[in-house]
Structure 1
Amino acid sequence: MSFDAKAELSAALVNDFSLKELVTGGFHNRIASDINVYPRIIYTELKNADDLYTDNQPQSAEVRFQISIFTNSNTVSKETKIAKEIDRLMKSIGYGRYDSQDLYEEADKIFHKAMRYKKSFFKEGK
């Protein structure tokens, strides 16, 4: 099965006015282009695999993403609001959250909230 989940997620993020206002450091796939601007979102595709086979043909695919919110001491107060907006957005495009962790990166003095989502895509006509 072929589905460009990254393109769907990227479009949803950059077209969400509420998130664009909050996330002044932008939305990045895997690596941020400017690591000095906060808050920022980095999204990473964790899994994109065929699933549920019938007659050796995949009938669905499972996709998983990690959405990471990075803030510093000046912007950490926005973290909860950003997380709620991310959750709203992801649910609106069919993803369910299965994990969330509050982390602190001691070496860089950066707050990192990692949120993980998954979604199943079904073959057309199924």
Structure 2
Amino acid sequence: MIDLKPEIRQALLNNAALVSLLGGSKVWPEVAPDTVVEPYITFFEITNFDDLYLDDSAATSEIHFQIDIWAKGNTATIAKEVDKTMKSIGFARTSAADLYENDTKTYHKAMRFKTYRMIEGVLA
């Protein structure tokens, strides 16, 4: 199984325009700290499964992630930077939805991406 969480977090943090829009390095896997102020990003793996088989062994994994943008205002500019970053590391966007969290009065943009990655050592 391939773990892409460190790669995704680092790619998002390496995007200087995105970090500037967030007001700092506010990107976390799964859950942000309680003390964080919007805007910020959380992300999580949705699925990660064997895809292409060669000689009865999995050669690739299909991996899906969701990136969530949390903000008190419009999320469009941040979403464009997230999309650009994810595409730069080999992901394709499969969906995006504008949501609103009534309890916290927070805008929430949910973006889903997928990629295929070779499993190390399979074709060596």
TM-score by length of 1: 0.88
* Cα drift, residue 113 of structure 1: 0.4
Could you tell me which residue of structure 2 aligns to residue 29 of structure 1?
Answer: 29
Q: Which residue does the alignment assign to 2:63? A: 63
Shift, 1:30, TM fit = 0.5
> Unaligned 5+ residue runs, structure 1?
none
Q: In the alignment, is the contact (CA less than 8 A) between 1:24 and 1:37 conserved in 2? A: no
- CA offsets 1:20-46 (integer angstroms, 9 cap, x no match): 111126001100013550100011111
Tell me, in whole angstroms, the C-alpha distance in 1 between the residues paired with 2:32 and 2:56.
Answer: 39
- Give structure 1 regions of 4+ aligned residues with deviation exceeding 6 angstroms: none
Do residues 118 (structure 1) and 117 (structure 2) align? no
For residues 38-77 of structure 1, what are the alpha-carbon distances to aligned partners after superposition, in whole Å with 9 as ceiling and x for unaligned? 10001111111111122320010011110000011xxx13
Per the normalisation by structure 2, the TM-score is: 0.89
**C-alpha distance after superposition, 1:95-114 (max 9, x if no partner):** 00011000011111111000
Q: Secondary structure at the match of 2:115?
A: strand
Count how many residue pairs are aligned between Structure 1 and Structure 2.
Answer: 121
Task: State the secondary structure of the residue aligned to 1:7.
Answer: helix
Unaligned runs of 5+ in 2: none
CA RMSD of aligned residues (A): 1.7
Separation of aligned partners in 2, 1:53 and 1:36: 43
Matched, 1:11 2:7: no
Correspondence 1:100 to 2:96: yes
Indicate the SS of the match to 1:48.
Answer: strand
Residue of structure 2 aligned with 1:89, choices 85, 88, 100: 85
User: Percent identity, aligned pairs only?
Assistant: 40
